Structures are given as C-alpha cells and as structure tokens.
A = this chain, B = another copy of it.
Amino acid sequence: MATLISSPETAGMEAFCASLPSTATSSKTFDRLRKVGHYRKLKSGSEIRGHIRRDRLVFLVAGATKMVAATANSKAFCEHAVAGFENPSERISHILAFHFPGEFITIINQADGDVRLTALTDAALVLFPFDRFLDVAQDDPAIIRHVISRSVQSLYRCQARMLQITHKSARQRIAGFLVSMARNLGSCNSGSCEFTLPMTRKDIADSLGLTIETVSRQFANFTKSNLIKTRGRNGLLLLDISRLQAEAG
C-alpha cells in the first residue's frame, strides 16, 4: 500500500485509481486499466480535438479544463493559429462544461458536434479509448457501475444547468456560477471564500449564455451589494456564499 515516491505519471494513474471504488477484486483490474490509459499533460490553452476517431473517456488529474462546442454555422473557426484573431463567428461558441480534478469527461465523436477539450490552466489527465476502457471495466461490476453512475450524474447536471440558463436572470446565473466555483475551487459551501478563477469573462459568458458585458456588469452589481470583491483580473473573494446561494434561487 505504501507507494514509493512515484513519477508524475504514476502519481496521475494512482489518483485516477483512487477515485474508483476500491473493491477487493479489483487490483488486477487497476493494473489492466493502467495499461489502457495514457497519461498526458496539457499546457494552458492547448486542447484535445474533437475529430478524434474514437470516443474517449478522460480523467482529469490536475488543473482545469473547458469543453467548447462550435455550432455548425460557425464551423469556419480559425485553427487557433495566431491566437487572438477574433473571428466574428467566434461569438457563437458555447462552453458545455468546466471540469476540475477528479472528474470524468466523455468526449464523443458526434457528427455535427465539433467539440474540443481545452485546458484553462496547465493540466494533467489520463486518456482512455472509451471502448478499451469498457473492455476492462466490464469485468468489474463496481467500476462499470461507477462509470454509469457518473454518466447519469453528468446528464442530470446538464439538465440542471439547462434549467438555470433557461429560466433565470443574468444575476441569478452569475450567482449560481460563483457558488459552484466556490465548491470546486475553494471547497466551501458557506461563509466566505477566496480563489482564483481559471477562466476569462468570455468563458463565463459563453457557459451561461450571456455576453461579457453582462457578466462584467453583474460582477459590478455584486460588488456594490457587498457580496463579492474582485482582486485584480482573476482573483475573487466571495463574502457570503449563503446569500449568493439565495440570489441564485
């Protein structure tokens, strides 16, 4: 059990295995999963493309990522070439989710969906070809259930977010976003909490279906209401999470 000081790679795999339910029968399964998985580091801003041939299951070890979807008509994306040449059609991009350490991410290779996983900070992940992962997981009831359970939870969260986006005001959406970030980045559910946002205003806007201007205005409003304080560009101090929670509705 006591592991020797391990290489980053091994450490990543260990983190992944630790997140799975540990059953008596599964140490062999873990070994097999280690062989199928591929450890990888991702520099901030770099990405995994959606046009991969096979579906992938990704375990996020460290850092933060976003999943970006481009709609069909805005497909004429520049290839991220010079970085910052804002194509007007880029306005129509959308962030499906942010991810934090310990999460499973499913990248599926759907016809129209040009989906990309982009690192918001330097990140470490373990990549599995989906079918090969299943080949191994098949033999371990606990693991396969874990994967199904995660998948169902993702669906549930997606639906909850849909509710949020559809029937809530900009102020409510931002409040909800901040509470969620407090949980993910500051591990707090109440009181006050300080952390650094890994994403830009545009990322926030794109994930909530708003514009950067509206996001900025709401940050200003919350500051006026003494609910938050901004620290430079990305630093953030939430003063009363419970009240923010209430604002989110």
Q: Which residues of A contact B (CB under 8 A)?
A: 55, 69, 71-73, 92, 94, 96, 106, 108, 110, 113, 134, 138, 141, 144-145, 147-148, 151-156, 158-163, 165-167, 209, 249
Chain B residue with minimal CB distance to A166? B209
Instruction: Report if A165-B167 is in contact (Cβ < 8 Å); known contacts: A154-B155, A155-B151, A249-B72.
Output: no
* Bound-complex Cα distance A23 to B104 (A): 30
State the number of copies, please.
2
**Contacting pair A94 B151 (CB below 8 A):** no
List 6 additional A-B contacts (Cβ < 8 Å) besides A69-B159, A158-B159.
A71-B167, A73-B249, A92-B167, A144-B144, A155-B158, A158-B162
* Bound-complex Cα distance A147 to B159 (A): 19
**Nearest Cβ distance between residue A66 and chain B, in whole angstroms?**
13
Residues of B within 8 A of A148 (CB): 134, 147-148, 151
Residues of B within 8 A of A158 (CB): 155, 158-159, 162
Contact of A161 among B72, B110, B145, B162 (CB under 8 A): B162
Chain B residue with minimal CB distance to A96? B159
Residues of B within 8 A of A134 (CB): 145, 148
**Nearest Cβ distance between residue A129 and chain B, in whole angstroms?**
14
* Bound-complex Cα distance A84 to B110 (A): 41
Instruction: Report if A166-B167 is in contact (Cβ < 8 Å); known contacts: A154-B155, A156-B108.
Output: no
Residues of B within 8 A of A106 (CB): 152, 155
Residues of B within 8 A of A167 (CB): 71, 92, 94, 209
Residues of B within 8 A of A113 (CB): 156, 159-160
* Bound-complex Cα distance A69 to B162 (A): 11
Residues of B within 8 A of A249 (CB): 71-73
Residues of B within 8 A of A152 (CB): 55, 106, 108, 151
**Nearest Cβ distance between residue A21 and chain B, in whole angstroms?**
14
